[in-house]
Amino acid sequence: MASAQLRAVTCTAPVNIAVIKYWGKRDEELILPINSSLSVTLHQDQLKTTTTAAISKAFTEDRIWLNGREEDVTQPRLQACLREIRRLAKKQKSAGGEDPLTPSYKVHVASVNNFPTAAGLASSAAGYACLAYALARVYGVDDDLSEVARRGSGSACRSLYGGFVEWQMGQQADGKDSVARQVAPESHWPELRVLILVVSAEKKQTGSTVGMQTSVDTSALLRFRAEKVVPARMAEMVRCVKERDFPAFGQLTMKDSNQFHATCLDTFPPISYLNDTSRRVMQLVHRFNSHHGQTKVAYSFDAGPNAVIFTLDHTVPEFLAAVKHSFPPEANGDPFLKGLPVTPAPLSDALKAALAMEPSPGAIKYVIATQAGPGPQTLDNPQEHLLGPDGLPK
Ligand code: 2P0
C-alpha cells in the first residue's frame, strides 16, 4: 500500500509508582477503583514505552505487536480501549472533524519497552497510557484520555500526566468522574530522586488483577482502608507534595506501602509479594533514617519484591553506599548502577555499625536511578516509527 494512505504517529509514555496505592475495584468491567490513589511519574530517560499507531483505509483488521511479537487483538481490555477511542473519535468528527471516515479505519499498533520485562517492573501502566495517547493522536481525539487508559489497566490513567498525579476514584456508576489529574508538575520538586532496587526473584507472583479481586472479596482490612484510611491520606499526600515536605512524604509513602501489603496478607488465601530481600531493604531504610534521626529515605513496594526508594538528591550517594554494603553486587561484569549518575561516597564506620546487617551478596541485581518526569510525548521524526510504510513492524 502507498505510504500516503497511511497515517502513523509514535508516542512515548512513562511508568508511575503509587505512593497512595490503588488496590481493589468496585466495577471490574469499567475498572473503577474502591479508593483514590496518587503516584509519581518516573522519567522516560530511564523507563518508557514507545508505541506507534497507524491507521489506513486499506487495513482489513486491527493488529498489535508487543516487543516484536504479534499479540491477540481480541483481548477484552484492548478491545475496550479501541471501542472507547473510536467512540470519542466519532463524537468529535460529528462535531465538525476533518475526516468522518477515519474512526472506522482499522489500526495497527506496535509497542516496545526500553526496560526488560524480566526486571519485574510493571509495564502495563506505561503500555496502556502509551496506547491511549497514540490512538488519540492518530484518530485526532482531543478528549480526556483517563477512561481509554483506565479500561486497559487502572494504574495506566496515572501515566497520562507527568510529575505528581492523583486518580480520583469518582462516585458515578458510569465512571465518568473516575479520572486522573496532575497535582504538581515534575519541575515542582526537582531534588526528588527515585532508586529502583531490582531484587532477584524466582517465583512468579499473583497477578494484580486477580490478587486485588480476591482482596476485595475476602479482606475486611481492605474495605476499612478504602473507606476510613485513604481519604485522609490522599489529602495529606497532596499537602506533602505541594509543600515538598520530604519527611512527611516519606513516612506516609512507607505506611501506605505497608498497609497495602497488610491487606494482601489479610486476603484469603493470603498473597505475599515481599520476599526476604524486600524486608531487608525495609530494615536498611529504617536503620539509615534512625541513624540520621530523620526520614531521609522511604521505600515503596508494589505487586512484587522490587523496592522503589524515594529520597532527595543529596542523600543518594550515601544511601547507595549503604545498599552496596548490605547487598554487595555480584561481579558479573554488568553495571550495578543504571540511569542517572551518582558520585560515589564513603560509608562512615558509625553508619556501618548502625546498619548492623550481614551482607547478602547478589540479592539486589542492579539499581536504576531516576527522577520524576513528564507525561506522554509525541515523537516528530518518522524515522522513529515502529511500523513501516506497509503498516508492518520494521
Ligand atoms: C498501584 N498496583 O497503585 C497499585 C499498587 C500494584 C500495587 O495498580 O487490574 O495493573 O489492570 O487495574 O493497574 C497494579 O494494578 O491492575 C497496581 P488492573 P493494575 O500502582
Ligand 1 center to residue 317 CA distance, Å? 31
Q: Which of 87, 174, 98, 95 is nearest to 136 (CA)?
A: 87
Ligand 1 center to residue 8 CA distance, Å? 30
Q: What class has domain 6-185+380-384? A: alpha beta
**Which residues, judged by CB distance below 6 Å to any ligand atom, belong to the binding site of ligand 1?**
18, 21-23, 31, 37, 124, 153-155, 208-209, 302-303
Strand arrangement, sheet containing 307-312: 297-300, 307-312, 192-199, 364-371, 337-339
Nearest CA to ligand 1 atom 4: 22
Of 155, 168, 260, the one to substitute when testing ligand 1's pocket (max ligand atoms within 8 A of C-beta) is 155
Q: Dump pLDDT digits (tens) for 268-297.
A: 999 999 999 999 999 999 999 999 999 999
Question: Is the model's pLDDT at 4 over the cut of 60?
Answer: no
Instruction: Identify the band that residue 343 occupies on the pLDDT scale cut at 50, 70 and 90.
Output: very high
- The answer to whether the CB of 145 falls within 8 A of the CB of 131 is no
302: its cell numbers: 508494589
- Location of each CATH 3.30.230.10 domain in the chain: 6-185+380-384
From residue 356, alpha-carbon distances to 176, 245, 316 in Å are 52, 29, 20
User: What is the distance between the alpha carbons of residues 168 and 165, in angstroms, rounded to a whole number?
Assistant: 10
DSSP summary character for residue 290: H
* Superfamily of segment(s) 192-370: GHMP kinase, C-terminal domain (3.30.70.890)
Nearest CA to ligand 1 atom 9: 209
Ligand 1 center to residue 153 CA distance, Å? 7
- The answer to whether the CB of 9 falls within 8 A of the CB of 51 is no
Instruction: Identify the band that residue 357 occupies on the pLDDT scale cut at 50, 70 and 90.
Output: confident
- Location of each CATH 3.30.70.890 domain in the chain: 192-370
Predicted pLDDT at 1: 40
Ligand 1 center to residue 124 CA distance, Å? 9
Ligand 1 center to residue 259 CA distance, Å? 15
What Rg, from alpha-carbon coordinates, does the chain have? Answer: 22
Q: What are phi and psi of 201, to 5 degrees?
A: -145, 135
Residue that has been written with the C-alpha cell 479505519 in this structure? 105
Q: Dump pLDDT digits (tens) for 24-46.
A: 999 999 999 999 999 999 999 99
Instruction: Identify the band that residue 118 occupies on the pLDDT scale cut at 50, 70 and 90.
Output: low
